[in-house]
Amino acid sequence: MTTTTTFALIRHGQTDWNAAERIQGATDIPLNDIGRGQAADAVAPLSAYGWDFIVSSPLSRAAETADLIGHRLGLDEARRIPGLTERNYGPAEGLSAGAELEALRFPGGFHGAETEQDVAARGIDALRDLAREHPGARIIVVAHGTLIRLSLAHALDQHIGSITNASLNLVHHHHAQADDTTAWQLDLLNGEPLTRV
Protein backbone atom coordinates (compact mmCIF):
# COMPACT_ATOMS: atom_id res chain seq x y z
CA MET A 1 0.00 0.00 0.00
CA THR A 2 1.25 3.48 -0.88
CA THR A 3 0.39 6.56 1.15
CA THR A 4 0.57 9.99 -0.47
CA THR A 5 1.09 13.13 1.60
CA THR A 6 0.63 16.42 -0.25
CA PHE A 7 2.60 19.56 0.58
CA ALA A 8 2.02 23.14 -0.52
CA LEU A 9 5.47 24.67 -0.14
CA ILE A 10 5.09 28.44 0.13
CA ARG A 11 7.88 30.95 0.37
CA HIS A 12 7.08 33.80 2.79
CA GLY A 13 5.99 37.21 1.48
CA GLN A 14 8.39 40.03 0.69
CA THR A 15 10.52 41.81 3.29
CA ASP A 16 12.45 45.08 3.04
CA TRP A 17 15.66 43.06 2.70
CA ASN A 18 14.14 41.10 -0.23
CA ALA A 19 13.27 44.39 -1.90
CA ALA A 20 16.82 45.69 -1.33
CA GLU A 21 18.31 42.35 -2.57
CA ARG A 22 20.11 41.76 0.72
CA ILE A 23 20.84 38.22 1.91
CA GLN A 24 18.53 37.40 4.83
CA GLY A 25 19.30 33.82 5.77
CA ALA A 26 18.60 33.15 9.44
CA THR A 27 18.34 36.87 10.27
CA ASP A 28 14.78 37.52 11.46
CA ILE A 29 13.47 40.23 9.12
CA PRO A 30 9.68 40.85 9.23
CA LEU A 31 7.26 41.08 6.33
CA ASN A 32 6.64 44.46 4.75
CA ASP A 33 3.23 45.62 3.50
CA ILE A 34 3.85 44.16 0.04
CA GLY A 35 4.67 40.82 1.69
CA ARG A 36 1.43 40.90 3.66
CA GLY A 37 -0.44 41.52 0.40
CA GLN A 38 1.38 38.60 -1.23
CA ALA A 39 0.36 36.35 1.67
CA ALA A 40 -3.26 37.38 1.14
CA ASP A 41 -2.93 36.73 -2.61
CA ALA A 42 -1.62 33.20 -1.91
CA VAL A 43 -4.98 32.20 -0.44
CA ALA A 44 -6.89 31.97 -3.74
CA PRO A 45 -4.72 29.27 -5.38
CA LEU A 46 -4.51 27.38 -2.06
CA SER A 47 -8.29 27.45 -1.61
CA ALA A 48 -8.68 25.19 -4.66
CA TYR A 49 -7.46 22.31 -2.44
CA GLY A 50 -8.57 21.02 0.94
CA TRP A 51 -5.84 21.48 3.57
CA ASP A 52 -5.60 19.74 6.93
CA PHE A 53 -3.23 22.12 8.69
CA ILE A 54 -0.40 24.61 8.26
CA VAL A 55 3.17 24.73 9.60
CA SER A 56 5.98 27.24 9.21
CA SER A 57 9.52 28.20 9.94
CA PRO A 58 9.81 30.03 13.27
CA LEU A 59 11.29 33.14 11.58
CA SER A 60 8.75 35.97 11.74
CA ARG A 61 8.45 36.53 7.98
CA ALA A 62 7.36 32.90 7.48
CA ALA A 63 5.32 32.73 10.68
CA GLU A 64 3.31 35.84 9.82
CA THR A 65 2.75 34.62 6.25
CA ALA A 66 1.47 31.30 7.63
CA ASP A 67 -0.78 33.01 10.15
CA LEU A 68 -2.30 35.27 7.49
CA ILE A 69 -2.92 32.33 5.14
CA GLY A 70 -4.16 30.02 7.87
CA HIS A 71 -6.60 32.60 9.23
CA ARG A 72 -8.14 33.17 5.80
CA LEU A 73 -8.41 29.42 5.14
CA GLY A 74 -9.90 28.72 8.56
CA LEU A 75 -6.99 26.55 9.70
CA ASP A 76 -5.73 26.26 13.25
CA GLU A 77 -2.69 28.28 14.31
CA ALA A 78 0.45 27.23 12.46
CA ARG A 79 2.96 25.04 14.25
CA ARG A 80 6.56 26.32 14.06
CA ILE A 81 9.20 23.81 12.95
CA PRO A 82 12.86 24.77 13.51
CA GLY A 83 14.04 22.51 10.66
CA LEU A 84 12.25 24.82 8.19
CA THR A 85 14.40 27.85 9.09
CA GLU A 86 16.22 29.47 6.17
CA ARG A 87 19.85 28.68 5.35
CA ASN A 88 22.28 30.36 7.72
CA TYR A 89 24.56 32.47 5.52
CA GLY A 90 26.82 33.52 8.41
CA PRO A 91 28.78 36.71 7.69
CA ALA A 92 27.08 37.12 4.29
CA GLU A 93 23.75 37.97 5.92
CA GLY A 94 22.71 41.56 5.42
CA LEU A 95 24.99 42.01 2.41
CA SER A 96 23.97 42.73 -1.16
CA ALA A 97 25.99 42.29 -4.35
CA GLY A 98 29.40 43.88 -4.16
CA ALA A 99 33.02 43.41 -3.18
CA GLU A 100 32.31 42.54 0.46
CA LEU A 101 29.96 39.70 -0.54
CA GLU A 102 32.28 38.48 -3.29
CA ALA A 103 35.14 38.22 -0.77
CA LEU A 104 33.08 35.64 1.14
CA ARG A 105 32.05 33.61 -1.92
CA PHE A 106 33.54 30.32 -3.04
CA PRO A 107 32.15 27.72 -5.51
CA GLY A 108 28.93 26.40 -4.00
CA GLY A 109 28.62 28.78 -1.08
CA PHE A 110 29.95 31.44 1.26
CA HIS A 111 32.62 31.17 3.94
CA GLY A 112 30.97 30.68 7.33
CA ALA A 113 27.61 29.68 5.82
CA GLU A 114 25.61 26.48 6.28
CA THR A 115 26.28 24.11 3.37
CA GLU A 116 23.68 23.49 0.67
CA GLN A 117 23.75 19.77 1.52
CA ASP A 118 22.97 20.46 5.19
CA VAL A 119 20.11 22.81 4.28
CA ALA A 120 18.58 20.28 1.87
CA ALA A 121 18.90 17.45 4.39
CA ARG A 122 17.29 19.55 7.13
CA GLY A 123 14.39 20.57 4.87
CA ILE A 124 13.76 17.04 3.59
CA ASP A 125 13.94 15.64 7.14
CA ALA A 126 11.27 18.13 8.26
CA LEU A 127 8.97 17.14 5.38
CA ARG A 128 9.56 13.41 5.90
CA ASP A 129 8.82 13.77 9.61
CA LEU A 130 5.52 15.49 8.76
CA ALA A 131 4.64 12.74 6.25
CA ARG A 132 5.50 10.05 8.80
CA GLU A 133 3.49 11.75 11.58
CA HIS A 134 0.51 12.58 9.31
CA PRO A 135 0.39 10.02 6.47
CA GLY A 136 -2.01 11.00 3.70
CA ALA A 137 -2.48 14.54 5.02
CA ARG A 138 -2.56 17.74 2.96
CA ILE A 139 -0.18 20.20 4.61
CA ILE A 140 0.72 23.82 3.88
CA VAL A 141 4.38 24.51 4.68
CA VAL A 142 5.50 28.15 4.80
CA ALA A 143 9.26 28.46 4.70
CA HIS A 144 12.02 30.17 2.72
CA GLY A 145 13.18 30.34 -0.89
CA THR A 146 16.59 28.73 -0.54
CA LEU A 147 15.37 26.01 1.82
CA ILE A 148 12.49 25.11 -0.52
CA ARG A 149 14.68 25.23 -3.65
CA LEU A 150 17.47 23.06 -2.19
CA SER A 151 15.04 20.59 -0.59
CA LEU A 152 13.16 20.10 -3.87
CA ALA A 153 16.39 19.80 -5.86
CA HIS A 154 17.64 17.13 -3.46
CA ALA A 155 14.35 15.20 -3.33
CA LEU A 156 13.83 15.25 -7.09
CA ASP A 157 17.51 15.07 -8.10
CA GLN A 158 17.10 17.93 -10.56
CA HIS A 159 17.87 21.64 -10.82
CA ILE A 160 15.23 23.92 -9.32
CA GLY A 161 15.32 27.66 -10.05
CA SER A 162 14.44 30.52 -7.74
CA ILE A 163 11.27 30.30 -5.67
CA THR A 164 9.11 33.43 -5.83
CA ASN A 165 7.49 35.04 -2.81
CA ALA A 166 4.15 33.48 -1.78
CA SER A 167 3.92 31.24 -4.87
CA LEU A 168 2.38 27.76 -4.74
CA ASN A 169 4.77 24.82 -5.09
CA LEU A 170 2.77 21.59 -4.96
CA VAL A 171 4.67 18.40 -4.17
CA HIS A 172 3.57 14.86 -3.28
CA HIS A 173 5.45 12.46 -1.02
CA HIS A 174 4.64 8.83 -1.89
CA HIS A 175 5.56 6.24 0.74
CA ALA A 176 5.33 2.54 -0.15
CA GLN A 177 4.91 0.61 3.09
CA ALA A 178 5.75 -2.78 1.59
CA ASP A 179 9.39 -1.92 0.94
CA ASP A 180 9.60 1.37 2.93
CA THR A 181 10.56 3.42 -0.16
CA THR A 182 9.65 7.01 -0.90
CA ALA A 183 9.23 9.04 -4.07
CA TRP A 184 8.58 12.73 -4.66
CA GLN A 185 6.46 14.28 -7.41
CA LEU A 186 6.37 18.01 -8.17
CA ASP A 187 3.18 19.22 -9.89
CA LEU A 188 3.40 23.02 -9.56
CA LEU A 189 6.51 25.20 -9.39
CA ASN A 190 6.00 28.89 -8.70
CA GLY A 191 2.31 28.37 -9.44
CA GLU A 192 2.93 26.89 -12.88
CA PRO A 193 2.15 23.27 -13.88
CA LEU A 194 5.16 21.20 -14.89
CA THR A 195 5.13 19.55 -18.28
CA ARG A 196 5.77 15.81 -18.16
CA VAL A 197 7.96 14.15 -20.78
* 172 carries a ligand binding annotation: no
* 17 carries a ligand binding annotation: yes
* 76 carries a ligand binding annotation: no
* 115 carries a ligand binding annotation: no
* 108 carries a ligand binding annotation: no
* 111 carries a ligand binding annotation: no
* 122 carries a ligand binding annotation: no
d(CA 156, CA 159): 8
* 89 carries a ligand binding annotation: yes
The residues assigned a catalytic role are 12, 86
Strands 79-80 and 53-56: parallel
* 13 carries a ligand binding annotation: yes
d(CA 53, CA 166): 17
CB 134 within 8 A of CB 126: no
Annotated binding site, which residues? 11-18, 61, 86-89
Annotated binding site for substrate, which residues? 11-18, 61, 86-89
